[in-house]
A and B are shown apart, each in its own frame.
Chain A
Amino acid sequence: MKLTDSGESRIRGYLYIFERSLRSFLSTEVAADAVREVESHIRDAVVEAGDVPDERAALERILNRLGPPMRVAQAYSLELVMDEAAATGRFTSVLRSLFHAATTGVIAFLAAFGLFVGYAMATAFIIIAIMKPIFPNNVGFWMTPNGILRSSGVNFPSVRDGLVFHTSYWIIPGALLIGLALLLLTHFLARRWIAWFRNRRKWRLESQ
């Protein structure tokens, strides 16, 4: 089948979406190789189709069998990002994997969200520990006169109506300890979850 200009445009459109989807997560080099391979697949399938009366229908059939470009891209990039996260355990790779996985379904979104919350809380505790020496009168606990905790952490201004400010430099090691423990725990859980998700995903992809 010799493609007309409109057929070529259709292929370029498919590859454009595919490449754009890949490049949001992968390096230019890896994405370019994947695009080149999928283009090669399409060109081979076009040659294989031979002379057909309806080029458009034949091309749509070829692209439908290949799958939607975003779905194919997602399968590619998720595998790569997750492999990197599982192999290295780097924070950036793990966070990218969580972000990417969150787009694949409701349960994955909720799990990734929970892990993001864990990371955010750990970061907040560490920030409290760092800020205490810089703003000693703004980091601590705010309690009602009868001893009920109403607020904790960092507050500007530190004076709050009807509340008593309590603070101590013990908040630094305390917040650091909690922050680091939370960070390690969240990271451990994130890696375990990514490993599980990666295997499950592998199986799902291979069955499609």
Chain B
Amino acid sequence: MLENWLEQLRRGTLELAVFLSVAGGPRYGLEIIRHLEEFTDLVLTEGTIYPLLSRLARDGFLTSEWVAGEAPHPRKYYRLTPAGRGRLNNMCREFNVFTTKIERLMKAAGRQV
């Protein structure tokens, strides 16, 4: 039961987490995954991050570029587009409002935050 609930939470936040991963500058696939693993436990199967990156690129929120020469093999780097940055700003704002309300609710219920 708790696992299902956690899954629902992951569902809603992975896109935001990916945007945040590339907010500081371009990153390639494995770098994004490792960054997410460092701070969260959102990625359970690494291969499924690529269809998500691909969709965000198709939707115009990310751009991608193959870079050769920095490793023995080429890497595909993703960066935020202006539309992606706008979406990230909106998502961060909404997420903050949401968590603030839940924290308030928890405090009202006498739960430690």
B11 interfacial contact with A, CB 8 Å: yes
* Contact for B47 among A66, A83, A203, CB less than 8 A: A66
Tell me how many residues of A have a C-beta within 8 Å of chain B: 29
The majority secondary structure among interface residues of chain A is helix
Q: How far is the CB of B54 from chain A (nearest CB, A)?
A: 7
Q: How far is the CB of A18 from chain B (nearest CB, A)?
A: 9
B104 interfacial contact with A, CB 8 Å: no
- Report Cα–Cα, A47/B31, bound state, in Å: 13
Which chain B residues (37-85) contact chain A, with CB distance < 8 Å?
44-48, 50-52, 54-55, 58, 66, 71-76
- Report Cα–Cα, A36/B68, bound state, in Å: 12
Q: Are B28 and A40 in contact (CB under 8 A)?
A: yes
Given A40-B28, A40-B73, A202-B55, the answer on whether A76 and B45 have CB atoms closer than 8 Å is: no
Measured between beta carbons, the chain B residues less than 8 angstroms from A37 are 29, 50, 76
Contact sample, A vs B, 21 pairs, CB 8 Å cutoff: A34-B50, A36-B66, A36-B76, A37-B29, A40-B29, A41-B46, A43-B71, A43-B73, A44-B29, A47-B71, A65-B45, A65-B46, A66-B45, A71-B45, A72-B51, A75-B51, A76-B51, A79-B54, A83-B55, A203-B12, A208-B44
A-B interface, 10 closest residue pairs, ranked by CB to CB distance from nearest: A72-B47, A67-B47, A206-B14, A207-B11, A75-B51, A67-B45, A66-B47, A44-B30, A43-B73, A208-B48
